[in-house]
Amino acid sequence: MSIRKSAFAVAIAIISSLIYALLALTVDNQITLDDERAIQTLGVDDKCVNSIGSYEAEVQCLISIQAAVQAIGEKTYCEVWIRSHLNEPSEFLRRNYGCCVDRARFIEKAARYYGYETRHIFLIQPKYSYSLTNFLPLNQASHATSEILTVNGWLGVDSNEPFVLIGADNSPDTYRYAINNLEKFPKMAPQEFYQERFDVIYGLYSRHGNFHGMNFPGPEFVFSELKWNWQ
């Protein structure tokens, strides 16, 4: 094969991969009518409407959202590999069970509904020193959770456990900071889980697909959130 033909084949492969990623693997973060109906069942309007602008009110709103979502069904039962099970708030309510993926999605959509900016957190225990290679192995410890922007900065809001990442000085903190300073966050649970080394990946919603959207194989992500991995 000539150099020109080889270059053309490589260009076609790259373009095809980009089109596939854009059409099949990007996660839609719009709030749908079904989302709005599901969010209203949380009963947090009194804490969240017009809460933005006051740090204390913002924290109370986000804690209220977290508590309401965590009160739904069994928190450790997952069937995220089943294609017919969408990880969206209305489906989560219908099933009445779920795990970190379902809860993080619901918490983030509820927070955005009330006007907050969110970013999705994927924590993964790496097997190798180079992070990109950790997309290939399976069965590492991992966790889906969220960070939500307050007037004082990004606040980690856990999906499964009733803790938020607030320091002793009442300031918000991120998962990147917290997993390297566990002694400052005694309520971060389960503590034994966070004793291991974890990589924090922003904007990755699934390594394998089947969590959101069209259920095509491959890592699902939100482009606008990927930028946080380099900031």
Confidence band for 75, pLDDT divided at 50, 70 and 90: low
Lowest mean pLDDT segment, chosen from 38-47, 93-102, 176-185, 218-227: 218-227
Query: Which range marks the domain in which residue 49 is found?
Result: 3-230
User: What is the value of pTM for the model shown?
Assistant: 0.85
- State how far the Cα of 73 lies from the Cα of 90, in Å rounded to an integer: 13
pLDDT at 59: 98
Provide the pLDDT for residue 215. 62
Tens-digit pLDDT profile for residues 92-134: 898 888 889 899 999 999 999 999 999 999 998 887 665 555 6
What is the distance between the alpha carbons of residues 183 and 169, in angstroms, rounded to a whole number? 14
Counted domains in the chain: 1
Kindly report, residue by residue over 11-64, the tens digit of the pLDDT: 444 554 444 445 445 678 899 999 999 999 999 999 999 999 999 999 999 999
C-alpha separations of 16 from 47, 132, 183 in Å: 46, 21, 47
Beta bridge pairs of residue 122: 144, 201
Q: Is residue 81 pLDDT above 50, yes or no? A: no
Burial 52-69 (b: 16+ CB within 10 A, else e): beebebbbbbbbbbbebb
Q: Specify the higher pLDDT residue, 102 or 220.
A: 102
CATH of the domain at 101: 3.10.620
200 neighbors 110 (Cβ within 8 angstroms)? no
133-159 pLDDT, tens digit per residue, is: 565 556 778 899 999 999 999 999 999
